[in-house]
Amino acid sequence: MRGLHLVLLAVLLCSDHALSLQCYLCAAAQTITQCWVMTCGQRQNFCFKSDLILYSTDGQKICMQQAGCATSCKEVSKQMETILGSGPEPGLLHKIFQNLGELAPTFELQSLSCCEKNLCNGVSRAGHSLWALAGGLLLSLGPALLWALL
> In tens digits, what is the pLDDT along the chain, a chain of 150 residues?
566 554 544 554 554 445 689 999 998 776 677 889 999 999 999 999 998 888 988 889 988 889 999 999 999 999 999 998 887 788 888 888 888 888 888 889 999 999 999 999 986 544 445 555 555 556 566 665 555 566
Bridge partner list, 136: none
Residue 10, domain member (yes or no): no
Report CA Rg, the chain. Answer: 19
Q: Total domain count for the chain?
A: 1
In a domain, 7, yes or no: no
- The answer to whether the CB of 43 falls within 8 A of the CB of 71 is yes
Task: Evaluate whether residue 2 is within a structural domain.
Answer: no
Within a domain: 96: yes
pTM score, whole prediction: 0.65
For residue 55, being part of any structural domain is answered with yes
Which of 106, 27, 112 lies closest to 66, judged by CA?
Answer: 27
Domain span including residue 75: 18-149
> Residue 80: which of 96, 65, 91 has the closest Cα?
91
Residue 5 lies in a domain: no
- CATH, residue 58: 2.10.60.10
Amino acid at 65: Q
